[in-house]
Amino acid sequence: MLDEDHKSLFMTWLGEHGSSVMKVARAYTLTSDECQDLAQEILLQAWRSLPNFEGKANAVTWFYRVALHTAMNWHRKDRRRRLRQQPLLEVQALATEGSNSAEQVQHRDTVEQLYQAIKQLPQTDAALVLLYLDELSYAEMADVLGISESNVGVKLNRAKKSLGELMNGKSHGP
């Protein structure tokens, strides 16, 4: 594939699946700067991996696989520095500028609570929840994570239960 073809394909996929990069980056980071750094790393890895794309998976599956593997590796390598950082306090504005109704504040609080809970899940469960929130099919989730569809169902049910407990303030055991 020519460089121009790579660039065109990459830009198309970025437009279609770029939001998944930010979701993954946010779930694996504590600060907005760190989120941006991880997002850039994911995009860099996706660009570097594009020549190896064989067309066996669809674009969304491939993009998520690159994003999740990059995030998990980055998370593992950068653990010591992250332990010294403060949690992400700001929430990206979900509403239009200048609007701050009680309903929007509640929505932002719920989203922040959800991301905090996702961060407490084991990495594979967090990845599965992110894929679920992005409405991927069980087959696509299985392909991204390299597990069977039935295993996706079992793991997803357990992850949802753990996430519900975390959202309701119950501690999450190892």
Q: Please, what are the averages of pLDDT over each run of 10 residues along the chain (174 residues)? A: 74 84 83 85 89 79 87 73 44 44 74 82 86 85 87 90 83 48
Report how many domains make up the chain: 2
Q: Dihedral sign for Cα 71, 76, 77, 81, please.
A: positive
CATH of the domain at 77: 1.10.1740.10
Distance of CA 109 to the CA centre of its chain: 19
* Predicted pLDDT at 100: 58
The answer as to whether 96 is a domain residue is no
**CA–CA distance, 144 with 131 (Å, rounded to integer):** 9
The enclosing domain of 139 has a CATH number of 1.10.10.10
Domain final residue, candidates 86, 117, 139 = 86
**SS3 sequence, 157-170?**
HHHHHHHHHHHCCC
Q: What is the pLDDT of residue 84?
A: 46
* Residue recorded with tokens 């200048």: 98
End-of-domain residue from the set 60, 86, 112: 86
What's the pLDDT at 80? Answer: 56
Query: Domain range holding 139?
Result: 101-174
Model pLDDT, residue 154: 92
DSSP codes of every residue in 74-132:
HHHHTHHHHHTSPPP------S-TT---HHHHHHHHHHHHHHHHHHHS-HHHHHHHHHH
**Structure confidence at residue 95 (pLDDT):** 37
Question: Which stretches does DSSP call E strand in 14-169?
Answer: none
